[in-house]
Chains A and B, each alone.
Chain A
Amino acid sequence: MSNTQDRVHLQARKVSFSWDDTPLHWVPGDPFAAHTINVLHLLLPAGERWFVHVYRQVLPLIRDERLREDVIGFIGQEAMHSQAHDEVLPHLKELGLDPTPYTAQIDWFFEKLLGDRTLPPGRARRWWLMERVATIAAIEHYTAFLGNWVLNAEELDRRGADPTMLDLLRWHGAEEVEHRSVAFELFMHVDGGYRRRVRTWALAFATLVFLWQRGARFFMENDPTLVDGRASFKDFYVRGRRGVLPGTGDMLRSIPRYLSRSYHPSQEGCTEQAVAYLAQSPAALAAEKGAA
């Protein structure tokens, strides 16, 4: 089931970033682009903690040793992603943009709404676990999409975006590309139902769009340096054309790919590029030196 060509041993890297010199508008002169990407820092700490929480419960159900190993590596990487993005939040607060009202809601969303419900053991509990495993597979389709995008987003370099933030995004993006098959393979291994895949994709996609536009508007409206900050879909579309944000067309084209019955994440992105970035990412290098 796994794609043997692309197989790499997944391992968490202990990275750390120093945010002292990162400005609020880390894409110079383009607060909307910076804030749209900043929404990641709002969603990921709670979201990836939730991934880990769910996967801890699935681990005993895995009957394939290699997949098990992958999932263990996946859990460690996701836990680090969650922590790394979490550390940006106090910095945003220092810069005068307190994200807590929004993150408290995201915490509620993942810890309560999508948390462990009081369900009788057996079918109900398994159903809820499988729904969440399928949802994670759908979300991971988009994290791999975004990871692949940010690895290739040369426009951000040309515009002089903050190198620390770019390193965080690309380290994270590269690991997402590196482990992009795990969530899907796990879902296919423990359940694999096509109807469930479509249903959870629809919910995950709608929720992501809802939370993302909400987060971008939240940042734009509360940014202390903007007089009349607004976010609109047009802004997003225009920046997608310029290459500062993911292109709308690319995003739409990725939908039928996930829904295709022959989908496998290894068709998206390129492991070699991800591994090559990790081999020269300042944060990943420092992590390797620390571990040695």
Chain B
Amino acid sequence: MPKPLTVAVVAGAALLARRAMRRRIRISPLWPMPALEEPVSGRPRSRALRLLVAGRAEVAEGVVQLRLEGRDLPRWEPGAHLDLVLPSGLVRQYSLCGDPADTSSYTVATRLVEDGRGGSREVHEQLAEGMEIEVRGPRNRFPLVEAESYVFVAGGIGITPVLPMLRALPASADWRLLYCGRSRESMPFVAELEKLDRVTVVAGMPDLDALEVPEGAAVYCCGPEGLMAAVEERFPQVRLERFTPRAAAPGGAFELELRRSGRTLTVPADSTVLAAVRAELPNTLYSCEQGFCGTCQQRVLEGEVDHRDELLTDGERGDSMLICVSRARSERLVLDM
């Protein structure tokens, strides 16, 4: 039998502990579980939106600017692009060139490419004011970093991701822009930009040797392939925004190296990466085979990916892919498996 005194002391201690706990919980109701600093749940994924083509204007020779209206649109950072799902089902990326603070509309501009893959022709010929269009994103793989100074090189329609960057930089920032194009008439926003004294406008191929790049400057380039290659050769640190695949027709066959298991195989045009890999490694994980469940995600070590899923975020797309639907954009792809 415990002594009455012991019972009283234990009961008193229990009561005190209970009071302390209750007070603690009242002050912060979610005590005592820790939380993840960067929560994963509840972050909105890029969902598909249906927007109204509210404005359409030809802002330069062969360049059409579209204003797409919606409500409570996701915010975006300068450099971000939007996936447009065109009436034929083609998906094309276009840089956002409006005001990032505007949550009721997005602005994109596109140039008609005569011998292109058909996307720009569809925008130019089929998208009219009053139509609805499905978009995905926005996503950013061309983000504006913090740097001591900035050098932008834009060629023609490549000005679109740069424009919001210039607006976002503080007035004190040290930046310069080299803006080139075939002819002044074909360069969108040239009149607005020419007024700024940090902008050099050149019609024709610019003299890149004359371009001064200070130490520690961030270099950004967006434009035709030739221009980007030339800039990359002189300034290897350059950040590029590329919308057309570098080589290899998407959807075709390509070579696949599985580095950890030391195998190399060919993925035929009519087969998925998953099917080719499963023939070699039967224990490969997958489930839905349609690019939405995320089970088959694999790390990409080399090569450019043609992402065809709707699940992965920008960060994830940087170094991984869903092998059930996505393919290579380059001739060769190396996976960490």
Q: Give the interface of A toward B (CB within 8 A).
A: 11-12, 14, 42, 45-46, 49, 52, 56, 59-60, 72-73, 75-76, 79-80, 83, 86-87, 89-90, 93-94, 99-109, 111-112, 217-218, 221, 291
- In the complex, chain B residues whose CB is within 8 Å of the CB of A103: 39, 41-42
Tell me if A102 and B30 are in contact (CB < 8 A): yes
Q: Give the interface of B toward A (CB within 8 A).
A: 29-30, 33-37, 39-45, 47, 72, 283, 285-288, 290, 292-295, 311
Extra pairs beyond A56-B285, A80-B288 (9, CB < 8 Å)? A12-B293, A42-B41, A52-B295, A72-B286, A79-B293, A100-B42, A101-B30, A104-B37, A217-B29
- In the complex, chain A residues whose CB is within 8 Å of the CB of B72: 94
The 8 Å CB contact of A75, one of B36, B42, B283, B287, is: B287
- In the complex, chain B residues whose CB is within 8 Å of the CB of A52: 294-295
Minimum distance in angstroms from B104 CB to a CB of chain A = 16
* Sample of 16 A–B contacts (CB below 8 Å): A11-B288, A14-B290, A72-B295, A75-B287, A76-B288, A79-B292, A89-B42, A90-B42, A94-B72, A100-B39, A103-B42, A105-B34, A107-B35, A111-B36, A112-B36, A218-B30
**Secondary structure of the B side of the interface?**
loop
Q: Once bound together, how far apart are the Cα atoms of A59 and B42, in whole Å?
A: 28
The 8 Å CB contact of A79, one of B33, B43, B45, B295, is: B295
Q: Once bound together, how far apart are the Cα atoms of A217 and B43, in whole Å?
A: 23
- In the complex, chain B residues whose CB is within 8 Å of the CB of A45: 40-42
Tell me if B295 and A93 are in contact (CB < 8 A): no
Tell me if A109 and B33 are in contact (CB < 8 A): yes
Q: Once bound together, how far apart are the Cα atoms of A101 and B35, in whole Å?
A: 8
The 8 Å CB contact of B41, one of A11, A106, A217, is: A106
- In the complex, chain B residues whose CB is within 8 Å of the CB of A218: 29-30
Minimum distance in angstroms from B297 CB to a CB of chain A = 10
Tell me if B293 and A76 are in contact (CB < 8 A): yes
Given contacts A14-B292, A105-B30, A109-B33, whether A59 and B39 have CB atoms under 8 Å apart is no
- In the complex, chain A residues whose CB is within 8 Å of the CB of B295: 52, 56, 72, 75-76, 79
**Secondary structure of the A side of the interface?**
helix
- In the complex, chain B residues whose CB is within 8 Å of the CB of A60: 283
Give me the 10 closest cross-chain CB pairs, A-B, nearest first. A76-B287, A89-B42, A104-B35, A79-B293, A104-B39, A45-B41, A107-B36, A12-B288, A103-B41, A76-B288
The 8 Å CB contact of A108, one of B35, B293, B294, is: B35
Inter-chain CB contacts under 8 Å: number: 99
Count chain B CB atoms within 10 A of each CB in A45, A107, A221, A291 and give the residue with the most.
Answer: A107
Tell me if B41 and A107 are in contact (CB < 8 A): yes
Tell me if B283 and A107 are in contact (CB < 8 A): no
- In the complex, chain A residues whose CB is within 8 Å of the CB of B47: 87
Tell me if A46 and B41 are in contact (CB < 8 A): yes
Given contacts A79-B295, A108-B34, whether A221 and B29 have CB atoms under 8 Å apart is yes
The 8 Å CB contact of B290, one of A56, A112, A291, is: A291
The 8 Å CB contact of B283, one of A59, A99, A291, is: A59
Q: Once bound together, how far apart are the Cα atoms of A103 and B41, in whole Å?
A: 6
Q: Once bound together, how far apart are the Cα atoms of A75 and B37, in whole Å?
A: 27
- In the complex, chain B residues whose CB is within 8 Å of the CB of A111: 36, 40
The 8 Å CB contact of B40, one of A46, A80, A94, A99, is: A46
Given contacts A79-B293, A104-B35, whether A12 and B287 have CB atoms under 8 Å apart is yes
Minimum distance in angstroms from B293 CB to a CB of chain A = 4
Minimum distance in angstroms from A13 CB to a CB of chain B = 9
- In the complex, chain A residues whose CB is within 8 Å of the CB of B30: 101-102, 105, 218
Count chain A CB atoms within 10 A of each CB in B39, B72, B286 and give the residue with the most.
Answer: B39
- In the complex, chain A residues whose CB is within 8 Å of the CB of B43: 86
Q: Report the nearest A residue to B291, measured CB to CB.
A: A14
Minimum distance in angstroms from A37 CB to a CB of chain B = 17
Q: Once bound together, how far apart are the Cα atoms of A90 and B37, in whole Å?
A: 18
Q: Once bound together, how far apart are the Cα atoms of A291 and B311, in whole Å?
A: 16
Q: Once bound together, how far apart are the Cα atoms of A72 and B288, in whole Å?
A: 8
- In the complex, chain B residues whose CB is within 8 Å of the CB of A102: 30
Q: Report the nearest B residue to A76, measured CB to CB.
A: B287
Q: Report the nearest A residue to B33, measured CB to CB.
A: A105
Q: Report the nearest B residue to A12, measured CB to CB.
A: B288
Q: Report the nearest A residue to B292, measured CB to CB.
A: A14
- In the complex, chain B residues whose CB is within 8 Å of the CB of A83: 45, 292, 311
Given contacts A60-B283, A79-B287, A93-B42, whether A108 and B292 have CB atoms under 8 Å apart is no
Q: Report the nearest A residue to B34, measured CB to CB.
A: A108
Q: Report the nearest A residue to B294, measured CB to CB.
A: A79
Minimum distance in angstroms from B282 CB to a CB of chain A = 10
